[in-house]
Structure 1
Amino acid sequence: MRIYRWALPLLAVAVSGCVGDDQSGSAESETTRGFDYQGMMANYADNVFLPEYRAFADQADELAEGINSVEFYCESLNDSDGASRIQRARDQWRSTMDQWQRVELFQVGPLAANGGALRNRIYSFGSSAPLSECAVDQSVVLAQEEGFNLSARSFNARGLDALEYLLFSEDLTHHCPSQISETEGWNDLPESTRRQQRCDYAQRLADDIVDASQTLVQTWEPEGGDYRFEWVNPANQEDNLKALSDAIFYVELQTKDRKLGVPTGLHTGCNAVACPDAVESPYSETSMRNIQVNMKAFLQGFKGGNGLGFDDIFVHEGFPDVKEAFEDAIIDADVRSGYSSPTLLQQMRAQHESGSAQDCQNAAANPEDNYPGACAAHAYLKRVTDRLRTDFITIVNLDLPERGQSDND
């Protein structure tokens, strides 16, 4: 249910604040006309979304063809420096994933269209078609055939998560049941053949990620699909503002709930003392790093980078202290999630083997006494998302996302 706390509904304020009337930007003009929502939406397009999308496209290009690329590594499979090249390719994958974890907070417009098809092509974690080791193993074999069409393969065998599996997993045996014909006989092939075929498919994946990233950028560019026009258009202002709000709720629905809540057993999505199989990025074990990057991007999303953002709405409505407290909570959660050892996967495997979730529950209840650790980090994230559900939606005067109507942790 929408919370109407303020005298003017959002649409009236937004229309009165359209660029094109008085653009002086003075305090008196701003108070009289209302908040400049169109200027805010233009700022997000020009100074948040497009720079982040372009940066990802650059990283993806480096992953596919740069000096630390998958291609460079695959060319050296039989060379003496193969070990160093795989490490460099892995490092480039991490850099590319870091940038993608920023983009994850800005899934609006083309990235969210068609059930998130473009997003899932690049990264399918949290979707209805998450990574399947068997699907990747099948695709590795099928990619050797003439006429293989990667675009016909499911998202569960594509994207950054599939590439992570191929680059970081040292296990060359397939993970399919015996009735899957494509992988029959795979385990009997020489190790060098299996490694080469996996590399062949990894290169296809890296190239496809480049194509998808360029598609994303081009759909927004004025000289391309010019979705920017649709985003800034005052006629779409209310819908786009809601879409932007829904997008940054990623930090609750995905970062807190799916990435931390489910693995730790603190969310109802896990019916055991811990669910290590639900950990994001299990092969590279960069799960907590992903979460920290999400929090950094969330702060940028809240502030609109260095331009007009949701934080300015807080100030405009007379709540600068609430804004400061919200930002402090975000920064705190960022810091508290920024550790690498033990990894989330290691912690959750140990918790699962212990048969008890008591320590995790205690850490979530008393995070200051239990830092660092995933369960304590979850508590700091929850402090942010509790404010998101209350202060944020009330002051900005928007509904919760449809999928966020209940809180299950």
Structure 2
Amino acid sequence: MKYAKALSLNKKLISVALASVFIVSACGEDTSSSSGEGFNNSQDTNTDFDQGKLIASIVDKVITPSYQQFSTVAAAQQQAINSYCEQEVAFSLGDSSAELVSDAKSLAVESWRMAMNSWQQAEMMQLSPLLIGDGALRNNIYSWPTQNTCGVDLDVTYFKAGSVNGQPYNIATRTASRKSMVALEYLLFNDNLAHSCTGSTKPDSWDNQTEQYRKVARCEFSSEVASDIVNNADELLTAWLGSDGNGGYAAKLKSAGTVGSDFATQHEAVNKLSDAIFYLDKYTKDGKLAKPLGLFANECGAQACPEAVESKYANHSITNITNNLQALKMFMQGSLTADEVDALGFSHYLIDVGDEVTANIINEHVELALEDTKNYQASLATTLATDSDKALATHGEVKNITDKLKSDFITSLALELPKTSAGDND
């Protein structure tokens, strides 16, 4: 059967693309502030440490390859989802089999997991291209914590019809909560074909359609969303690396302290890199752990709430946290892997200013937290329901890191806390 041959070829192509990416798997506007506990108002450290080399190392050996990796797996994800959709369409015409459809969907699901692993590392690298316009580019790739399953259900039907509100459908103009990796998770991992809308606006005639019609409509929209993610991943790379001889934000960081630079000193650029890793504080510790635990208000009130986890359809929540931690590890060592000889990261800077103790403590806590997250035997949602103390312990492990970042780390390196962490003493 021709579809079987095509599926076999796609498996090989996707496997090659995914195998080329360095990713961790396990069982996301300027924000600097001159206030907050632990703020050090000195302008720089008093050593001869080569901050320019640190900037170049983190930019070239951590952030750039991470963005490139995501672009690679986003393209593989699009290909896998397209192949899955082809099988659903073929099945509806009697030209495929349930087994081929299942195999193709399994590849699409795996491609999403690989893309999400990559993105969760890039999430820890939120610098200007991802932050401008209230984070528009970042949200178009991954809108969490904003999500709208009813909006996704509605857009499935709008895309199928080819129009919305009397205008041709254009996914690029749709709000982020109706697309992005969040929408793909809902479409690929949620097998309930009923729409999720509870208000007066609901998908027209959706409930009257056959099961196969709805599967095809959902997979066709998934393909469109995956294509939009590829376009946004390409936009990110262009903004980061530049095009047509114009340097992107990466070049601006590396030119810090030179005439005409956006950064008067290299230390200012170092502070931007430092700001990025405080994602671990606001989003990983608070949004992905404290809120589902009920330490902050959630949809269940003030108690452990499986519904409040980041990635409930794919049960990928704890793996996301693992990849956030891996990204911090890369910032500390200045490269994707620990064995790169010429790399310079924040650990080296701390050692140079005489605070090897803080460098060691942060690195040790990162390893402990990584080990903790990789040892989960069930999803975070299930763990919250059956053993919330384990999830609370994970929160404590991550908090050990963020407490050190908000105190000795910024003090020793004469850095400013980002606004998102200033005054946060939880």
TM over 0.5: yes
Q: CA deviation at 1:268?
A: 5.0
The residue that corresponds to 2:229 in the other structure is 209
Task: State yes or no: 1:399 paired with 2:416.
Answer: yes
| 1:52-99 C-alpha deviation (Å, 9 max, x unpaired) | 00000000000011xxx0011111111321112111110111001000
- Structure 2 residues without counterparts, runs of 5 or longer: 1-34, 163-167
Q: Normalising by structure 1, report the TM-score.
A: 0.84
Alignment of 1:3-402 (within 5 A): 9-10=43-44, 34-65=48-79, 69-77=80-88, 78=91, 79-80=96-97, 81-126=100-145, 130-146=146-162, 147-181=168-202, 183-224=203-244, 225-227=246-248, 228-233=250-255, 234=257, 235=261, 236=263, 237-268=266-297, 271-305=301-335, 306=340, 307-348=343-384, 350=385, 360=388, 363=389, 373-402=390-419
Greater Cα offset, 330-339 or 260-269? 260-269
Contact 1:105 1:301 in 2 (8 A): no
Contact 2:350 2:412 in 1 (8 A): yes
- Structure 1 residues without counterparts, runs of 5 or longer: 14-30, 352-358, 364-372
Tell me the distance in 2 between the aligned counterparts of 1:257 and 1:58. Answer: 30
Contact 1:56 1:99 in 2 (8 A): yes
The residue that corresponds to 1:20 in the other structure is none
Tell me the distance in 1 between the aligned counterparts of 2:144 and 2:331. Answer: 21
2:218 maps to a residue whose letter is R
1:76 maps to a residue whose letter is Q
Contact 1:163 1:205 in 2 (8 A): yes
| 1:190-246 C-alpha deviation (Å, 9 max, x unpaired) | 011111111110000001111111111122225455222211122413443222111
User: What percent identity do the matched residue pairs reach?
Assistant: 32
Contact 1:289 1:339 in 2 (8 A): no
Tell me the distance in 1 between the aligned counterparts of 2:423 and 2:294. Answer: 17
Tell me the distance in 2 between the aligned counterparts of 1:107 and 1:286. Answer: 21
Q: Normalising by structure 2, report the TM-score.
A: 0.80
Contact 1:280 1:287 in 2 (8 A): yes
Tell me the distance in 1 between the aligned counterparts of 2:355 and 2:117. Answer: 33
Q: CA deviation at 1:4?
A: 7.3
Greater Cα offset, 115-124 or 241-250? 241-250
Runs of 4+ deviating beyond 6 Å: none
Tell me the distance in 2 between the aligned counterparts of 1:243 and 1:116. Answer: 16
Tell me the distance in 2 between the aligned counterparts of 1:283 and 1:290. Answer: 13
Q: CA deviation at 1:269?
A: 5.6
Tell me the distance in 1 between the aligned counterparts of 2:40 and 2:151. Answer: 50
Tell me the distance in 2 between the aligned counterparts of 1:177 and 1:4. Answer: 47
Tell me the distance in 2 between the aligned counterparts of 1:166 and 1:408. Answer: 38
Tell me, what secondary structure is at the counterpart of 1:337? helix
Q: CA deviation at 1:379?
A: 1.2
Shift of the 167–269 alpha-carbon distance from structure 1 to 2, 3 Å rule, reads: closer
Aligned pairs, number: 362
2:349 maps to a residue whose letter is I
Contact 2:40 2:416 in 1 (8 A): no
Tell me the distance in 2 between the aligned counterparts of 1:149 and 1:210. Answer: 15
Q: CA deviation at 1:184?
A: 2.9
Contact 1:288 1:344 in 2 (8 A): yes
Contact 2:153 2:195 in 1 (8 A): yes
Contact 1:120 1:155 in 2 (8 A): yes
Contact 1:288 1:339 in 2 (8 A): no
Contact 1:322 1:391 in 2 (8 A): yes
Tell me the distance in 2 between the aligned counterparts of 1:50 and 1:200. Answer: 31
Tell me the distance in 1 between the aligned counterparts of 2:243 and 2:422. Answer: 39
Tell me the distance in 2 between the aligned counterparts of 1:277 and 1:408. Answer: 26
Greater Cα offset, 220-229 or 92-101? 220-229
Q: CA deviation at 1:290?
A: 0.7
